[in-house]
Structure 1
Amino acid sequence: MVEDYDAWFEKNRALLLEDFFTFLRFPSISTDPAYTNDLLACKDWLVAYMEKSGLNTEVWETSGHPTIFASHLEAGDAAPTLLFYGHYDVQPSAPLEKWESPPFEPEVRGHKVYARGAIDNKGQAFYTLLAIRAFLERTKNAPVNIKVLIEGEEEIGSSGLEAIAEEKKEALKADHIYIVDLDMYAEGIPGVTLGVRGVASLNVTVHNSNADLHSGTFGGIALNPARALATTLSKLWDEKGKVTVPHFYDGVKEGGLEGLDEEIDLKKESAPFEIKVFQGEGDYSLVASNWVRPTLEINGLESGYTGEGYKTIIPAEAMVKLSCRLVPGQDPEKIIEALATFLKSNLPAGIGMSFEKGHGTPAMITAPDSATVKGAIAAYERIFSAKCRRQLCGGTIPIAPKLAEICGGEIVLIGMGIPSDSIHAPNENFGLDRFKQGFLSITQLLEIFAEGGPDA
């Protein structure tokens, strides 16, 4: 059975990859309005491709970028319904000078394709669509219903889809929900992800004058806002990496690793990035610090003149972008308020401060032994000669908690990513061997439920 799908892939390989590379060429960057037309063109191409694959497709307009919903429901109400989620928007490609080839001109080097979106999430969304296409071609009248949800705002918080999700509740109902946007346990070892951390973000600007000041004329008498901000930021953590913001850990429970495969070596998995220093939270292991503990990070700092040469000024203002990864029990809104209060109370008196809230999403945890999870494990173990592991993810899928709330079925996060794919970084890539393994895994997932489910 796996061999039949393998043969189908190899027979059509050249055309499949040509279509995949066309998908990658759209600079569908969701965070920058300059790319709106490219993002909409990508949506149009994807809709046409899904319709050609045998799916009934519609476009859901949102307050932001459109969401694509597609279905094949000929099996009837008594048959199980599987919903697959992905996204067609991508991260910005800066810094461009770090790319070895243009980010939106896919290039195969060795056994990998390099392009923005190669793995996150165009590659994973596309192999899912190919698997559905192959399944529908091979198994006429299969006793399984299929739904596909591909949105255009995952990289900026999914606010548009979240706002219409309740309205679309009936359409989104499913027995088994698969978010195909995650990682393997390790290279060559598949994994199912049972939960993701939430996120809360904000931008903070501090200021002390209405214009940049001459650093000689005003040096020594005007407090530098960059210095004030840096001093305040240094108070956010203690020497062991624990966040010092009052109420930050309210609601956070101990434990959380029970039933998970926690023996993964995160230092080894991070080797391609040559990280020099690792730090978890206090005495927690790196795995616990990444999977079940919240974090606070500086994502960007900006102040004054950063061009070539020198401009001797005291800048008028300084800005920092902060984000937190949250665990169950934490409320994004309360975390943002606690951070803003802490910063304001620790800045020198008289320094002005303004802040802009970013998006907030709670954490999500799913049942470890549901039929949804068992189905994914069984599918992976048909493809890999390795036991499929249960894991958590330190990252965030913004729409995951909402899908878990309204779809009615169990949810699990799956995927073929590994750390060296350089997600969100220059030279993002996806091994074509894993692209094919992802395709085969989704075909087997569909076959398993067509056969009666993992417990049949």
Structure 2
Amino acid sequence: MRLSTHYEQFLQNNRNRHLEELKQFLSIPSISALSEHKPNMVQAAEWTAEALRQIGIENVQVIPTEGNPVVYGDWLKAEGKPTSLIYGHYDVQPVDPLHLWETPPFEPEIIENKIFARGASDNKGQMFIHIKALEALLASDGTLPVNVKLCFEGEEEIGSVHFDAFIKAHKERLAADVLVISDSVMYAKGKPAIIYGLRGLCGMQIDVKGPKGDLHSGLYGGAVQNPIHALVQILDSMRNKQGEITIDGFYDQVRNVSEEEREQFRSLQFNEEQMSQELQVTELFGEKDYSVLERTWVRPTLEINGIYGGFKGEGNKTVLPSEAHAKITCRLVPDQDPDDIVERIQRHIDRHTPPGAVVTTTRFDSGKPFVTPFDHPAIQAAGRAYRYAYGVEAVYIRSGGSIPIVETFATVLNIPVVMMGFGLNDENIHAPNEHFHLDNFDKGIITVCQYWFELEDSL
């Protein structure tokens, strides 16, 4: 392994400039879920492309898709060395509820060495780490220890609607030896983690229709099915009091976790009582034969994400509502298939719909679960890079979250995936007051720089 530390001085000398550039990036309201921000999506893509050009990345393009554009660039001058594909996303979540933000979501502020803004941690801040790492190496050494390709999308927060097709259409352009993603969290503050498994995802909206319009509950109550009661009855039938999902065949394809892996989880000494206190809940809940880490990493779920219908204003209105609605999602584990699970849920709904109600469903985006061997040389190289920057050993974990595109990348390109996250669980990702710890921003750039040297001779 060839080692260079010139870049560390460069990073120190340019830190203020880098933070100002990050603020510019975070100021762009690139909310992919809201159509009124379509111009901002193009603005964010163009900003990203220019940032790549400025540091010396070649063949930079903003490539149109049927949705938001994809930004591509490469640097392929390390003859005979491995090629890494770097993925990230420049789109962000909506900011609601706005009144809970202590600082404006698109006016970045640094407070107590944390930068506050929507997208600070997910994913602009972590994506920006990779751009600045490449800049530091190119500016300091004039070269890179490996070849790199960069591919940044603008639809991750809405399920990468058009990105699967993009990967398949550009398979040769994206060909590489390893995929590196920084869109995840560390195990704890000061304790880096390499994620080798993700849960998959599927979900749907359930709409229950009763009478043609809202009815007077005195005149019609007891004679007409109440859609809210019908919906609650359907939802309640999906899970028992122990947290076990009662959909027929839901667990049939769940891959068992080895005792060796369960022992590895136990070695992390996760503090369940501390989690309960931090979340301010009276106690944790879930399948009784599994630890919290197992419930959130290797077991599937079915959760109600929202339920609404009827009168919601102040006071009381004696109405029998015309309709009721719910949104549900499932986190899936190997070897569950999203299409199969959605079909099973649909059959369950059909069987449990009470008389006098009509139910329709609309499917949401989905993604398959992903797991890869954590002893792969590319993943072990990431562990050494973390140790260099943080001075401690990284842990190898699964994540309860979902990045659906990871499985597509791994399948289409047939390459290992290294998930090197620098976020923290308490950074309010997807919530008001999202922020990113600048200590991890600084160490993250050093980690990524060092990773390219570690990877140079590993593949």
Q: Normalising to structure 2: TM-score of the pair?
A: 0.94
SS in 2 for 1:162: helix
Against the structure 1 CA distance between its residues 197 and 285, is the aligned structure 2 distance closer, same or farther, given a 3 Å change threshold?
A: same
Q: Relative to structure 2, which stretch is displaced further, 211-220 or 128-137?
A: 211-220
Share of identical aligned residues, percent? 37
Using a 3 Å threshold, how does the CA distance of structure 1 residues 432 and 149 change in structure 2: closer, same or farther? same
Distance in 1 between residues matched to 2:408 and 2:205, nearest whole Å? 25
User: Is it true that 1:372 corresponds to 2:378 in the alignment?
Assistant: yes
Where does residue 335 of structure 2 map in the other structure?
329
SS at match of 1:147: strand
Spell out the pairing of 1:234-245 with structure 2 (5 A cutoff): 234-245=236-247
1:373 shift after superposition: 0.3
What's 2:458 paired with? 453
Match of 1:279 among 285, 293, 316: 285
Secondary structure of the corresponding residue to residue 359 of structure 1: coil
**Structure 1 contact 196–394 (Cα < 8 Å) conserved:** yes
Residues 224 and 356 in structure 2, CA contact (< 8 A), matched pair in contact too: no
Partner of 1:53 in structure 2? 55
Distance 1:374 1:332, change over 3 A: same
Q: What is the CA-CA distance between 1:169 and the residue it aligns to?
A: 0.6
Structure 2 match to 1:391: 397
Report the alpha carbon displacement of residue 127 of structure 1 after superposing the two structures with TM.
1.0
> How many aligned positions are there?
452
Whichever residue aligns with residue 183 of structure 1, its letter is V
Q: Which moved further from structure 2: 391-400 or 63-72?
A: 63-72
- Corresponding residue SS for 2:290: coil
Deviation at 1:257, TM superposition (A): 6.5
Corresponding residue of 1:6: 8
AA of the residue aligned to 1:274: Q
Over 3 Å counting, the alpha-carbon distance change for 1:75 and 1:372 in structure 2 is: same
Q: What does 1:22-421 align with in structure 2 at a 5 Å threshold?
A: 22-56=24-58, 57-76=60-79, 78-256=80-258, 258-259=260-261, 260-262=264-266, 263-265=268-270, 267=272, 268=274, 271-421=277-427
Work out the CA distance in 2 between the residues paired with 1:283 and 1:419. 25
1:393 and 1:280 map into 2 onto residues whose CA distance is: 17
Structure 1 residue 114 displacement after superposition: 1.2
Amino acid at match of 2:371: I
Q: d(CA) in 1 for partners of 2:71 and 2:299?
A: 34
1:366-405 Cα offsets, whole Å, 9 max, x none, are 1211111011101000011211111000000010001111
Distance 1:397 1:19 in 2: 27
Cα deviation per residue 1:100-158 (whole Å; 9 max; x = unaligned)? 11111112221211111110001100111101111122222444101111111111111
Task: Name the TM-score, length of structure 1 as normaliser.
Answer: 0.95
In 2, the alpha carbon distance for the partners of 1:180 and 1:129 equals 12
Structure 1: gaps of 5 or more residues: none
- Indicate the larger mover: 249-258 or 329-338: 249-258
CA pair 99-357 structure 1, distance change in 2 beyond 3 A: same
- 8 Å Cα contact 1:243-1:296 kept in structure 2: yes
Query: In structure 2, what is the Cα distance between the partners aligned to 1:194 and 1:148?
Result: 21
Kept in 1, the 8 Å contact 2:378–2:455? The answer is no
- Displacement after TM superposition at 1:185 (Å): 1.6
Gapped runs of 5+ residues in structure 2? none
Alpha-carbon separation, structure 2, partners of 1:361 and 1:232: 25
SS in 2 for 1:209: coil
- Could you tell me how far apart the structure 2 residues matched to 1:254 and 1:72 are? 42
Q: Which residue of 1 aligns with 2:433?
A: 427
Please state whether the residue corresponding to 1:166 is helix, strand or coil: helix
